A and B are shown apart, each in its own frame.
Chain A
């Protein structure tokens, strides 16, 4: 399965045929059993819906999903942001350059389409991200969606090569960490004030959730952008080379 890390595109299937067959049969059998389970056994009636409904009013938000994500099960979300951070740390270059977060450089051959797309789209995307964040309290949406959108905007902007982002600068790192930091800070502070971790006071719940979400949005955006940039070779910039040179 993972015996050889095969990097050849369209390479041969490295497991022999017999095992292919075995696998196929096994997986099919597995599928049948799972299906049987689904068909023959009824689901639990309502899941946690009644509980959510019962506590939604005191959660500070009206969208039940956001309430679950950022209030009832905020702890999971906190750890989820930590997961993202892990990946970022793992892919960031080892050398901390002292340059600022964003630099403009002269690019000789402008890609007209990209440049205009970036000019036109970026602000709109930014705007929409802000909306998503805000709307998360009442409708589907929220930090991750907003962050992803924001990251998209960043990718668009940096694809042109005009702006060079230094993800290892102290600023970038602070931005990446701020989501988790804010979450932890709020959580711990609430222990102090409310006696329990992440126990929002009813009056400030909405505000605090928004605060956390904003931080998370920023972090998610820049994290995703950095992940993207770690994967691609931006033509002509030698970006990747500098990225990897630390290791």
Chain B
């Protein structure tokens, strides 16, 4: 007996022995039990570690015990089993710690922990099973050992849950057994073989194999909670939290999913399964479950129930990845096994924590929970965001690979499923996160435990933190060689020995150029965690973007786009941070603001620096989501509504972008002989268009920008929207070919945004809204230019610098204007300083109009010259200046008027304003100086920005042209002329066509709810169908069994006798 025979057996036996020892431990000996628990888990963990290292060094592990003739009990360590074993062992350890904390001082602990150990032993055995029969044995053992855990509480709900669980799993087990027996008769000992067992066996009846496959999947699908078989999972949330974690993350559902993987890959073999036409069946089932689970989760108020439905949805990703039957999708599915485990266990830990500590069970009770339990909710947030698939958390990796894999396997519809699921995920997780962090506690906690030093017992706190951290790491370091992803890749390599493409091109490395730029902001962020340092950090924040500037200066590789954007970003963040110092000096929520300010900054700079897709999309997401609290900052009704609009569009944009980038990656790396399809470009346009305020996708802009604090709106409007542009420049196939189908709508949208935005903006009463519409209008010009580039690829070379230059110009000008809004008080006061201050407002305004001698004129000139091949475009540019001048005029006019607070604005901000008014009448230099700096930049950037080609040809005075002047004058005239008319018109609501979207959204919601309800009704019907049938048959049999009572056994006996005679003699 050498080590390679003993080790797998020892790993399986470890938890079993621990379980038995615990079972024998008297109830009152808590310490002994704890020691047994922890040592058991630790020993198993270290044995698994040993196994891992040994397998890595090429030793074969196999324990084989004869079970029946021709059937052995086989425990074997291959890469797939190791993946699952390590996950179980690792999560078991933390769940044990958690459970010890959770069950402190309750009854029947020996029983609980004993079965807990046995359960994990069964899981590990299942993972190491080397053939289908061994798998079945441990699979059923798992069912049995889970039962006492679910029933542990012993109340009516948990008994019912346990019963339901059994009904499902027993039937599933029976089906599985039937399938396995049948298969065994056909194919002999069912050892798992990579690349499939059945391939090598000749003369198998295809129909039989198909039926067997359905039997097997039905059996496994019960545990994997595939659609019609998932009913037990939501019910069993009545179990204690550690059990739920175990059920959802470590053992049970994973066992089902793992079994499906085994059956498809190691028994049937992927190609063979596809041959039999079974993958599509499985994929459709899994896809439906994904969507279905999400829809059901939406309407659950019970937190654990919501999480349970989320599990239903998420676990099917694994099955989906398996069923898509392509190597990349396989990786996605397998890695989700681990990732979902990490994230879901975190969520359940957190749910358990709040239930245990505060008695909070419902989503509706969670308002303001973040203040009471910040660490727990932090972990929750990370995990929830990961579930949605927000990079760089683990969930994204899975979805990414699934998406690319789906395309690779010619199943683009899966992408749609992923998108819908992600949106739904966001729809049920984001409200929770919002409630937790950004709402005030509205009622006392149902059952508050006495406050400890930490927010709850450390044993309850540590596990979720660790697992959340792991989920984060697993996503961030996905490309590291020991990550779950690399592991899954290894497994997939074995399963698809011949057809695995080179995956390095889609690795998620999160690479950025000059990462050192981000070191300072990140370290500041880290320092914010320490209470005492916060004041210092806030002082230091303006320094954070400066390394970016340095990097831009040092950048020598000639990538002007990046250099320009980096310059713009760094400078404006610097200005914004400086401005914020003064603007938010007295704000209560300063800390939160700066936290997200920093995060957004990191995201923004990171996006600019990013070198490949993963880092781009990661930082992009970071920036987009971190901006949410900035918009929400005042927490007025308007702010809430704006922020919620914003986040919806962000999610929409992210999802579209995800699909687009998946497509982009696939077509640029794997589809050598296919032409990129048009939808990828379209999705890119839409995805980034949301950020870049593309007309019809712009509606969040005029709502969000005005409500944010001034520095935040400045940055939003000036920098962050430009990231959309950056995305376009990076990923669109600009300059390569013409995509007229998209170019025309793009130009049309750009033009209409430029004009209609201006006209709509003129009627606004809030200067910030006016500025926002101006942004839309200006971005319309950019969009139109991009459209132009799509139409005329040849012009791209000339157009790119012009667009970048235009973007910079707009960034500086618009931020100055926004900052000026904050100076409104000073502008109204008639001091010596006032004219200079007005100058600060006028310079960028004029620049935007593009009056001669301004940088705006430069920018427009550059655009004009780049688009000279189509004169109509130049005309459009000139005409757009009329709109801009209208807007600027309106802005100046509004700045002159005494600012009337809209009634709906919350009183608090008004008080804040009045407080400021009374407290100091001296000019706030803290605000003025950054504004001035910004204005200076607005004028001067022309001179220090990178050497754009056109700068060489043109001088400032070359912009002196009538074409640049007359639109402004016309605009001014119109403004003056229409003064009366406009005054009579009530300002229309900011966000113009948002109403339409809202209507559509409401409609969708209604349909969704209706659908959800009807599904819910149907499926509760389905899950209770069994019970009903049972009851009905029970009563039927009850009635009939009265007649069945054999009152005349003697007669019966002679009848049997006659029967025997008949069968024998005749």
CB distance from B1064 to the nearest CB of A (A): 10
Chain A, residues 39-50, CB within 8 Å of chain B (1/0): the string is: 000000000000
A29 to B1048, CA, bound (A): 19
Chain A, residue nearest B1050 (CB): A1
**8 Å CB interface, A1-56 against B:** 1-3, 15-16, 19, 22-23, 26-27, 29-30, 33
- In the complex, what distance in Å separates the CA atom of A16 from the CA atom of B1050? 11
New A-B pairs, 17, CB < 8 Å, besides A16-B1048, A22-B1051, A23-B1050: A1-B1050, A3-B1046, A3-B1048, A15-B1048, A15-B1050, A19-B1048, A19-B1050, A19-B1051, A22-B1054, A23-B1051, A23-B1054, A26-B1054, A27-B1054, A29-B1061, A30-B1054, A30-B1058, A33-B1061
8 tightest A-B contacts by CB? Answer: A1-B1050, A19-B1051, A26-B1054, A19-B1048, A1-B1049, A15-B1048, A26-B1058, A23-B1054
A26 to B1051, CA, bound (A): 9
- In the complex formed, the residue of B with least CB distance to A27 is B1054
Closest chain-A Cβ to B637's Cβ sits at a distance in Å of 80
Q: Once the chains are docked, how many angstroms separate the CA of A27 from the CA of B1051?
A: 10
Docked pose: A1 CA to B1053 CA in angstroms:
9
Q: How far is the CA of A21 from the CA of B1058 in the complex (A)?
A: 14
- A residues less than 8 Å from B1049 (CB atoms): 1-3
| Residues in B whose Cβ lies below 8 Å from that of A30 | 1054, 1057-1058, 1061
- Asked if B1055 contacts A22 (CB within 8 A), the reply is yes
A128-147 vs B, Cβ < 8 Å mask (1 yes, 0 no):
00000000000000000000
Residues of B within 8 A of A3 (CB): 1046-1049
Chain A residues within 8 Å of B1047, by CB: 3, 15-16
Q: Please list the residues of chain B having a beta carbon within 8 angstroms of any beta carbon in chain A.
A: 1046-1051, 1053-1055, 1057-1058, 1061, 1065
**Can you list 21 A-B contacts with CB-CB less than 8 angstroms, sorted by A residue number?**
A1-B1049, A1-B1051, A2-B1050, A3-B1046, A3-B1047, A3-B1048, A15-B1047, A16-B1047, A16-B1048, A19-B1050, A19-B1051, A23-B1050, A23-B1051, A23-B1054, A26-B1054, A26-B1055, A26-B1057, A27-B1054, A30-B1057, A30-B1058, A33-B1065
Please report the C-alpha to C-alpha distance between residue A19 and residue B1050 in the assembled complex, in whole angstroms.
Answer: 9
Find chain B residues with CB under 8 A from A15 CB.
Answer: 1047-1048, 1050-1051
CB within 8 Å of B: which residues of A?
1-3, 15-16, 19, 22-23, 26-27, 29-30, 33
B1040 to chain A minimum Cβ distance, whole angstroms, is: 19
Q: Give the CA-CA distance A173 to B542 in the complex, in Å.
A: 110
Q: CA A80 – CA B1055 in complex, angstroms? A: 33
Nearest B residue (CB) for A36: B1065
What residues of B have a CB within 8 angstroms of the CB of A22 in the complex? 1051, 1054-1055
Chain B residues contacting A1 (CB-CB under 8 Å) are 1048-1051, 1053
**CB proximity of A108 to chain B, nearest CB, Å:** 49
Q: How far is the CA of A26 from the CA of B1054 in the complex (A)?
A: 6
Contacts of A33 in B (CB 8 A): 1061, 1065
Would you give the shortest CB distance from A171 to chain B, in whole angstroms?
44
Nearest-neighbour CB distance to chain A for B139, whole angstroms, equals 44
| Nearest CB in chain A: distance from B1053 CB, A | 7
Contact across chains for A29 and B1051 when beta carbons are under 8 A apart = no
Residue of B nearest to A16 (CB): B1048
Q: Closest chain B residue to A24 by CB distance?
A: B1054
Give the nearest-CB partner of A26 in chain B.
B1054
- Min distance, Cβ A11 to any Cβ of chain B, angstroms: 15
Q: Which of B1046, B1050, B1053, B1058 contacts A29 (CB 8 A)?
A: B1058
For residue A246, give the distance in angstroms from its CB to the closest CB of chain B: 33
Q: How far is the CA of A99 from the CA of B1050 in the complex (A)?
A: 46
User: Which B residues lie within 8 Å of A29 (CB)?
Assistant: 1058, 1061
* Chain B residue nearest in CB terms to A20: B1051
- Report the minimal beta-carbon distance from B1066 to chain A, rounded to whole angstroms: 11
Instruction: Return chain A residues, CB-CB under 8 Å to B1053.
Output: 1
Q: Which residues of A contact B1051 (CB under 8 A)?
A: 1, 15, 19, 22-23
Within 8 Å CB of B1065, what residues of A?
A: 33
Q: Residues of B contacting A16 with CB < 8 Å?
A: 1047-1048
Q: How many angstroms between the C-alpha atoms of A33 and B1061 in the bound complex? A: 9
Across-interface contacts of A2 in B (CB, < 8 A)? 1049-1050
Distance in angstroms between the alpha carbons of A22 and B1055 in the assembled complex = 8
**CA gap between A16 and B1053 in the complex, in Å:** 15
Q: Which residues of A contact B1046 (CB under 8 A)?
A: 3
A3 to B1049, CA, bound (A): 7
Q: Closest approach, in angstroms, between the C-beta of B1043 and any C-beta of chain A?
A: 13
Q: Which residues of B contact A26 (CB under 8 A)?
A: 1054-1055, 1057-1058
Which chain B residues border A27 with CB–CB below 8 Å?
1054
Q: Which residue of A lies closest to B1046 (CB)?
A: A3
Q: Which of A1, A3, A30 has the most CB of B within 10 A?
A: A1
A135 CA / B877 CA spacing, docked (Å): 142
- Alpha-carbon gap, A27 to B1046, bound state (A): 19
Min CB distance A5 to B, Å, is 13
Q: Which residues of A contact B1057 (CB under 8 A)?
A: 26, 30
Interface centre among B1046, B1050, B1057, B1058 (most CB of A within 10 A): B1050
The CA-CA distance from A1 to B1065 in the complex, in Å, is 26
Bound complex: CA of A108 vs CA of B913, how far in Å? 126
Q: Report how far A27 CA is from B1058 CA in the complex, Å.
A: 9
A19 / chain B contacts, CB cutoff of 8 Å: 1048, 1050-1051
Interface centre among A19, A30, A33 (most CB of B within 10 A): A19
